[in-house]
């Protein structure tokens, strides 16, 4: 998983560097796929549940699961990119949101808070903690900042499959839920909205958007509890 995480981190860096006004999401998908295959890994999303691409690209009010295509990002957009890779049968999963060109202070604040919400969740990971500790930490931070926390889509266990038990919601109660133990790996992935937490799926059967059309951001890391402590396998991309 450590190796899969490194591959994903490399793909995130390559895509982040390429994001600029005018580039299409399909082109970013191609860069991600090339980078993942160059490392001898396999894109984890392509073909999974029928998804047609290497990354999910979600723009502005799109939350997750957007399909790369001919749409070009433009100055002022925010773009979420979600990556997965498989090495030796093990999965890693990670996402970031980034501003395209010059973005509004409102959009930047949302991105910063979503990144910080993920850190608040990661800080809770340790042997003997509960999933609810992570969930509550993410929710408390997000709601303190005034954002809606998406409920319908959640983080997850990860290992020999992309999505394993347990679910890792971004809302919950401290001290509740499954126990965290050495040897476990989970993907923590807060999705924060400027407005309502409610979501809607587009007719393409994939893209999830905010019900009210307000901006949404998404950060995700794959985190493991190893013999040596807590390890973030997919270091978060942050260059804005």
Return residues touching Mg ion (CB under 5 A). Answer: 82, 93, 95, 187, 220
Q: CB-wise, 77 or 189, nearer to Mg ion?
A: 189
27 bridge partner residues? none
Q: CB-wise, 62 or 82, nearer to Mg ion?
A: 82
Q: CB-wise, 61 or 82, nearer to Mg ion?
A: 82
| Shortest spacing between CB 205 and Mg ion, in angstroms | 18
Q: CB-wise, 91 or 141, nearer to Mg ion?
A: 91
| Shortest spacing between CB 212 and Mg ion, in angstroms | 23
10 Å CB burial of residue 109 (0-12, 13-18, 19+) is middle
Q: CB-wise, 12 or 130, nearer to Mg ion?
A: 12
| Shortest spacing between CB 93 and Mg ion, in angstroms | 4
Any idea what DSSP says for residue 22?
T
| Shortest spacing between CB 104 and Mg ion, in angstroms | 25
Q: How many CB atoms lie within 10 A of CB 173?
A: 12
Q: How many residues are present in the chain? A: 240
Judge whether 60 and 77 are in contact, CB under 8 Å: yes
**CA-angle at 5, arms to 4 and 8, nearest 5°:** 90
| Shortest spacing between CB 95 and Mg ion, in angstroms | 5
| Shortest spacing between CB 158 and Mg ion, in angstroms | 7
From CA 47, how far away is CA 49, in angstroms rounded? Answer: 6
Judge whether 69 and 139 are in contact, CB under 8 Å: no
Compute φ and ψ for 214, nearest 5 degrees: -80, 165
Q: CB-wise, 102 or 207, nearer to Mg ion?
A: 207
Cα dihedral 155, 210, 149, 44 in deg (nearest 10)? 10
195 bridge partner residues? none
Q: What stretches of the chain show up as alpha helix (H) in DSSP?
A: 2-18, 25-38, 105-123, 131-144
């Amino acid at each position: 998983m450590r190796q899969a995480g490194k591959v994903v981190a490399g793909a995130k860096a390559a895509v982040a560097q390429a994001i600029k006004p005018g580039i299409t999401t399909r082109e970013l998908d191609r860069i991600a796929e090339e980078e993942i295959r160059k490392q001898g890994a396999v894109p984890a999303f392509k073909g999974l549940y029928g998804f047609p691409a290497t990354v999910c690209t979600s723009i502005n009010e799109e939350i997750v699961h957007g399909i790369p295509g001919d749409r070009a990002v433009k100055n002022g957009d925010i773009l979420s990119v979600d990556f997965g890779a498989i090495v030796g049968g093990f999965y890693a999963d990670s996402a970031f949101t980034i501003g395209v060109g010059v973005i509004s202070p409102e959009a930047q604040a949302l991105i910063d808070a979503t990144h910080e919400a993920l850190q608040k969740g990661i800080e809770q990971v340790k042997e003997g903690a509960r999933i609810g500790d992570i969930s509550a930490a993410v929710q408390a931070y997000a709601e303190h900042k005034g954002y809606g926390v998406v409920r319908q889509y959640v983080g997850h266990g990860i290992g020999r499959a992309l999505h394993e038990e347990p679910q890792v919601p971004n809302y919950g109660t401290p001290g509740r839920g499954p126990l965290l133990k050495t040897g476990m790996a989970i993907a923590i992935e807060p999705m924060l909205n400027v407005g309502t937490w409610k979501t809607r799926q587009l007719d393409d059967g994939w893209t999830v958007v905010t019900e009210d059309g307000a901006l949404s951001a998404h950060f995700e890391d794959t985190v493991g509890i190893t013999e040596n402590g807590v390890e973030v396998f997919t270091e978060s991309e942050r260059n804005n």
